[in-house]
Structure 1
Amino acid sequence: MTAAQPPSATRAAVILPWERPDRHDDARAAEARLEEAVGLAASIGLVVVCQAVLLLRARRPATLLGGGQVDSLKETVKADNITVVIIDSRLTPVQQRNLERALGCKVIDRTALILDIFGERAATREGTLQVELAHLEYQRSRLVRTWTHLERQRGGFGFLGGPGETQIEADRRMIGDRIVRLKRELEQVRRTRGLHRQARRRVPFPIVALVGYTNAGKSTLFNALTGASVYAQDQLFATLDPTMRGIQLPSGRRVILSDTVGFISDLPTELIAAFRATLEEVAEADIILHVRDVSHPDSASQRNDVIEVLEGMARNGTIEQDWQSRVIEVLNKADLVGGRDAVGARPGNVVISAITGDGLPDLLAAIDERMTRAMEVVAYRVPLAEGAAMAWLYEHGEVTEREDGEDGVEMTVRLSPANRARFEMQFGRIVTCLQD
C-alpha cells in the first residue's frame, strides 16, 4: 500500500484456498495462481492490502474455509479496514452469505470477479450482450439472496457493491425472460458476423487468429503487425472484443489478422458458453498464432490451459480436429528474459518481442511459409478475352509461370484449396485445367 492511493480506493484482500498437496511444485503453483488473482483485482482498480494462500484440509460446506482461518481473516479485515474479500475459488451462494456475515464485509468469488472485469471492459454490442448473458446465468443460481450488490456506479456489474447501491429484486422468471431475449439478440449478432465471414470468403483473404493466455501480449503484437491502436496494457483482460485488420506478408499475400479475448485457467463456465461467437474467429482461422509469455514463471501451465480449451472446442465440433496443424507458437516477451537467443526457438516456434519488434520479420516469414505449405499448384489455360479470370488468379493466388499463346494464356498458379474451388466454380466453364 502506498501513501498516494486515493481516499475512495476500495481496499481488498485476495485469498487463495489451496488443496493440491500432492503436487511437487505446489508452492510455486500456488504463488503463481495467487499472483494472477491479485492481478485480476488490481486490473479494476482495487487496492490489494492483504493476500494469502490458505491450505484446505477439507472444503467446508458452510464457509469453504476452516473455522480458524475464518476467525483469522476476520481480524485482518478489521485491522486493515478491508471492504471486500476476494476468494479465488467458486463459492456456493450459502458459502458466500456465511462468509459475508462472519467477516462483516463484501465477499466475492473468482467467477464474480472475472465477470465484473468483463462487464467493465466489453465495448462492442456483441461483447456487452455476451457478458450480460454470462452475468445473468451466474446470478440465476444465486436467487437465494437479494441482489443488494448490483449497483452500476463503477461500471462492470457492481459485484463489489458500495455506497448508493440500488436494490434490484428479480425472480427466476424475469431473469429467464431476459436470458431468452439476450440469446435471441446474440444469435442476430452471430448471423451478422456470419455474413461478414461469407463476405471475406468471397474476397477472400486467409484469416490468422491470435490466441493465448490473458496478458500474453496479443494486442501488443496485433498493433505491431498492423499499425493499429488496439487497447494494450500490462493488465489482465485488456482485450475483450474481437478486432480484425488486414496485413501484407513478405510474399505480397494479404491476410486478415484477428485479435481475441485472452484465455485463463478456471474460466467461468458461463463465460465459455457466452463467448462462443468470439471463439468462432479461431474456428475460421487458416493459421492460429498461440502467443505465450515466456517471461512468466507459469508459462507452461498457461500453455496447457489454452490447449485444453482448444481441444474442448475440437471435441464439440467448434473447430476442426486437425487444428494443431494450423498452430504456430509465438514465444513473446523475449526482451524480459535476455533476448531471443536466451529463449531458443524450436520447430514450430518463433521467438519474438512484440514491444521491441525483435523477431517480427521471422514471424511474418513463418506465417508465409505455413500458408505456402497448404497451397496447391495448378495450371490453367485462360482465353485471351477472359481478363477477369486472369485478374482473379493474380489477386487471390501466386502466379509462378505465364505463357501467352494464340489460343490463350497458360498460367501456373499456387492457390489454397478453398480458393481453387472458388475459382473453378466461378470460371470453370471458360478455363481449362491442364492437370488432374
Structure 2
Amino acid sequence: MNDRLSARPTRRALVGTALGHALEWYDWGIYAIFVPFFSTRFFDPHDKVSAVLSSLAVFAVGFAARPIGGLVVGRFADRVGRKPMMLATVAGMAAGSLVIGLCPTYATLGAGASAILVLARIVQGLATGGELPSAQTYLAEYAPRRRRGLWSSVIYIASVGGNTVGVLLGLLLSVLLSESAMASFGWRIPFIVGGVLGAGTLWIRRSLAESATFTAEREERPRLWQEVLRHRRQAVQVVGMSVGLTVVYYAWVIAAPAYAISTMHVNADAALLAGVLSSLVLIGVLPAWGALSDRVGRRPVLLVSTLGTAVSLFPLQAMIDGSAWRLGVAMAVAMVFIGAGVSILPAAYAEMFPTHIRTVGLAVPYSIAVAAFGGTAPYLQTWMGATAGRAAFTGYVVLLLVVSAMTVLTLPETRGMSLTATGNHGDDTEGIEREAA
C-alpha cells in the first residue's frame, strides 16, 4: 500500500482529530477544576465536604460508562468506519456539557438536579469511552509508520491543550468574578463554552476522509468475541500499561490544581496558574518524546516514563507544602516523566492490534482501566489525603506505575511496524519485530 496515499496525515485530519480529543479533556478537566464552585449547586449546600465528595463520585460514575461506550463505539468504528463514530462521540460530549451548563440547581429541583448531572456525565462517559480509541486509531492509521510516535503525540498535546484552556478559563473567571458570582453563575460558563466548541468540532470532523487503512480492509470483519478472545493477551497488556499512567495523569495533570485549592488551601488563582505553566511544559516535551521513540523504540521511552515517575513522586510530593510556586515546580518536573509515556501510548496501542479489531480491541480494556483507576483517582486522592495522609495516595500511584512498567517489559518492540493486515497479526511477534527493524 502506498504510504503517500494511506498513511500521510492531512492538516484537516490532524486538526479534526486534535480538536475532538481536546474537547474530551476540556470537558473532563473543567468538571474537576470547577467542583469547588458548583458542588453545592447540585448537592446539599449545608454539607460542603459531602457535596464535593458527591460531585467527585459523579465524576467516577461518568468513567464507569466508558467501557460500554468503548465497546459500542469501538465495535461500530471497526465495522462502519472511524469517521462516523468520531462524529457521534463529539456530539455526545458537547450535549452533555451543554446540559450541565444549563441545568437547574439543587435549590430549584432538589435531587432532580443531582440526577440530571449524573445522566449528563453518563452521556459524556459513553461518548468519551469511544472517542479516545477512535481518534487514536484514526490518527495512527494516517501517520507515516516511521514517524508514528511523533504523530501520536498530537493526541495528548490536544488533551493537555484542552485541559489547559479549561484551566485558563477558570483562572480568568476567578479573577473577573467574585466568589459568590462564581458559585452563582460563573461555573456555568465553561460548560456552555464546551457545548459551543463541540458544535464547531462537529462541523470540522464532518469533512474528514475515512482512514485509508480501514477502507482497504473493509471486507475483513471476523466475529467480534472470537477476535477479542484471540487477542486477550493484548487486552490485559492494555490494562496493565494504562493503570499507572492513567492515575498519575489524572492526579497530577488534571486534578492537581483543584486538589490544591480544596484540600491544601492554596490560593485559587495561583494554583490554576501553576497548572497552566506545568501544562505548557508537558506540551513542550510530548513531541520530543514521541520523536525519540521513533528512533530508539517504544519500550525504552515507556520505561523511562513509568519508572522515572515512580521514583520521583515522593520527593515531588514533599516539595508541596501549600505554596503555589512549589506546586508549579513539582508539577513541571512530573510532566517531563509523565510526558514520555502518554506521548506514545496512542502509537503503542494501535500497534498491538490488527485493523479489524484495532478500535474495539483497545476501547474495551482501556475504558475498563480508566473507569476503575482514572475515574476514582480524584476521589481517592481527596479521601486518602483526609483519612491517611497524602503519602498513602502517592504510594498507591507508585504501585500502579510499577505494574505498568512490568507490563511494558512483556511487550514486543513495535517501532516502525506496518498497520496493514500483512504487517500486524497481533500475536505475530516475529513479524512485528521484522517490520520494526
Query: Normalization by structure 1: what TM-score?
Result: 0.26
Task: Name the larger-Rg structure.
Answer: 1
TM-score (structure 2 length as normaliser): 0.26
Q: Taking CA–CA contacts closer than 8 Å with sequence separation of 6 or more, which of the two structures ends up with the larger relative contact order?
A: 2
Higher relative strand content: 1
